[in-house]
Structure 1
Amino acid sequence: MTTEQNVLRVSIAVTFALAGLGILFGLLSGSASIVFDGIYSLTDASMTMLALLVANLIARSTAAGPANGKLAERFTMGFWHLEPMVLGLNGMLLMGAAIYALINAIGSLMTGGRLLAFDQAIIYAAVTVVAEIAMAIFEIRANRKLNSGFLALDAKAWLMSAALTAALLIAFLFGYAIQGTPIAWISPYIDPLVLTVVCLAMIPMPINTIRQALADVLLVTPADLKHHVDEVAQQIVARYGFLSYRAYVARVGRGRQIELYFIVPTGWPAKRLEEWDKLSDEISELIGGDSPDRWLTIVFTTDPEWAD
């Protein structure tokens, strides 16, 4: 699993398998929380497929060679802008699913709960929680090298799913244990109660992802990157005697867009283009992070209007 796309393919396959298992066992056992777990997994799998499509587009658009020709002609600015859109949509859907389940769980509590077959529910929860934890660990380890926002969110989704299923397992074990005891009357309330608690814990989890995605979509200037670019530009201005500079910086998903305009004094002796290229290379090295996901534009002009 050396690429983002391969890891996402494995995640999609496992998610669809667990979603089908969840819906089947949920219907057989009569558990709305298990059905929700399956639907939640289906939602996550659908968004992961979309994430895989975007990851493929970004990889193809930043690759060199004739295979990239048609993409480069149709989408000259790349596909980085799609990444925060998908991340934001994913986070909002996961949050929306949890809110919807919370409303249903509260409604069930108010109407006397529901009975379910605890033995079937326990089998499902035990198998599923092991698979979900294994997938979360697998993606976290893979992402240490890949450093992908998609994989980070997908790993978080696996952890959220594992937390939900673990809570269900504990609740089902408790419900099974109290059968035939004086407190067996609690049984109908176990399923909606644990779903309520889990949903309350899950709803805030995607908020940071949604906030970052919204900042990327709105091209909010990242303070750390802007500070670094300003330091480099000020150093170049002082070293070569330029009048000033203008810096425009944005982070769009994994992409970094940097535009630098240096105001050159009028009347300077002419320089060969090779000399300006050499200076651009120096600025590029000082900024760092040269990769297919960095979009760097450097302009030298005597007219400030071209920079504003």
Structure 2
Amino acid sequence: MTYTRPTTPRESMRQRFQGSSMQTEQGVLRASIMVTLLISAFGITFGILSGSFSIAFDGIYALVDASMSVLALIVANLIASYTSSRAAAGPLRARFSTGFWHLEPIVLGLNGVLLVAVSVYALVNAIGSLLAGGHALEFDFAIVYAVVTLAACTAMAMLETKANRSIKSDFVALDAKAWIMSGGITAALLVAFCGGYLVQGTRLEWISPYIDPAVLALVCAVIIPLPVSNIRQALTDILLVAPDDLTAHVHEVAKGVLKDYGFLSYRAYIAKVGRAKQVELYFIVPTGLPPRRVEEWDAIRDRIGDAIGHESPDRWLTIAFTADPAWAD
């Protein structure tokens, strides 16, 4: 007789959290949204208490990021629902018969644009505050905020980076990058606030009013360029620009098929849309080619699909054969 120790409620809760929250794209994003909202409320509150524009900006930045994470979660759920049950019918599937992958780069691009816009606005305000002589700041409140927030950012960045090794999601990768950025910002704030606290009562106390706007301006100048790469990638996907590596691989496979089966030529249409790889191949066969059974053509398709690889619910592969090039152009 085998005895199995019963799972305690605490272990059961931990297993559910690990299984559902940090091992799926949707779970990671949900956890990130909850933590981000807490940090946002924490930052706005402490920004008001300490009189720090940089802390208030950090809270607002987190709020914008959380809003985009909610949108990303909705898109991730739509994609997961579509790829897990393509045969299912429904009003959304009827209207979006080719899937929801195109929404992913739109959300990523919008996220980057909004974060840049918020940062530019904060930079302008910081410069204005510096020119106006700065403002007083309660450094003790500011330091408490920075320590707590830095710990939260570090923990979330580590958890998401680890989880995304198996999930491999652009959304999670972007979110982990955002946590790293937030942690870097908060670390800079902490150093500045500690410096401001230490100069109190010394001959350098005159710099205290300038610390908060100066740090805010520096942080904004650093983070404004960071989302640019994500915006560029999103535009690439929206414009259906074919990735060089995938394009070269598909053409290599297609040329091999021409050689093996004696086809005349081919047309390849390739794009990457978010996480989806879309490939359409049209092979021009000689006129008068002896007929083949449908199963034989399917076997050729299977061979081509295996050679192209990347088989997953996020691969959209179409392979057609025709003797009329007009059908392929």
Which category describes the TM-score, using the shorter chain as reference length?
over 0.9
Alpha-carbon deviations, 1:160-219, whole Å to 9, x = none? 111111111111100000000011000000000011111111011111110010000011
Alpha-carbon deviations, 1:37-72, whole Å to 9, x = none? 000000000000000000000000111276554443
Alignment equivalent of 1:10, drawn from 22, 28, 31: 31
Alpha-carbon deviations, 1:132-178, whole Å to 9, x = none? 11111111111010010001111111111111111111111000000
CA deviation after TM superposition for structure 1 residue 100, in Å? 1.0
Match of 1:127 in 2: 148
Q: Show the 5 A alignment for 1:223-234.
A: 223-234=244-255
Unpaired runs of 5+ in structure 1? Answer: none
CA deviation after TM superposition for structure 1 residue 73, in Å? 2.2
Maintained 8 Å contact 1:61/1:68: no
Q: Matched residue of 1:62: which SS?
A: helix
Alignment equivalent of 1:202, drawn from 223, 235, 243: 223
Match of 1:257 in 2: 278
RMSD, aligned α-carbons: 1.0
The separation in 2 between residues aligned to 1:151 and 1:95, in whole angstroms, is 19
Instruction: Say whether 1:172 aligns with 2:172.
Output: no
Alpha-carbon deviations, 1:101-142, whole Å to 9, x = none? 111110100000010100111011111111011111111111
Q: Show the 5 A alignment for 1:1-308.
A: 1-64=22-85, 69-308=90-329
The separation in 1 between residues aligned to 2:309 and 2:93, in whole angstroms, is 24
Aligned residue pairs, count = 308
The separation in 2 between residues aligned to 1:63 and 1:70, in whole angstroms, is 16
CA deviation after TM superposition for structure 1 residue 306, in Å? 0.5
The separation in 2 between residues aligned to 1:304 and 1:219, in whole angstroms, is 23
When normalised by structure 1's length, the TM-score is: 0.98
Letter in 2 for 1:216: D
In structure 2, do the counterparts of structure 1 residues 65 and 251 end up closer, same or farther at CA, with 3 Å as the change threshold? closer
Q: Matched residue of 2:84: which SS?
A: coil
When normalised by structure 2's length, the TM-score is: 0.92
Maintained 8 Å contact 1:23/1:38: yes
The separation in 2 between residues aligned to 1:276 and 1:129, in whole angstroms, is 59
Equivalent pairs: percent with the same residue? 62
Q: Matched residue of 1:298: which SS?
A: strand
Q: Matched residue of 1:250: which SS?
A: strand
The separation in 2 between residues aligned to 1:213 and 1:68, in whole angstroms, is 30
The separation in 2 between residues aligned to 1:172 and 1:104, in whole angstroms, is 19
CA deviation after TM superposition for structure 1 residue 307, in Å? 0.6
Letter in 2 for 1:184: E
Maintained 8 Å contact 1:125/1:168: yes
The separation in 2 between residues aligned to 1:127 and 1:247, in whole angstroms, is 53
The separation in 2 between residues aligned to 1:67 and 1:303, in whole angstroms, is 34
Letter in 2 for 1:56: N
Deviation beyond 6 Å, 4+ runs, structure 1: none
Q: Matched residue of 2:118: which SS?
A: helix
Maintained 8 Å contact 1:60/1:68: no
Alpha-carbon deviations, 1:262-307, whole Å to 9, x = none? 0000011111111100100000000001111000000000000101
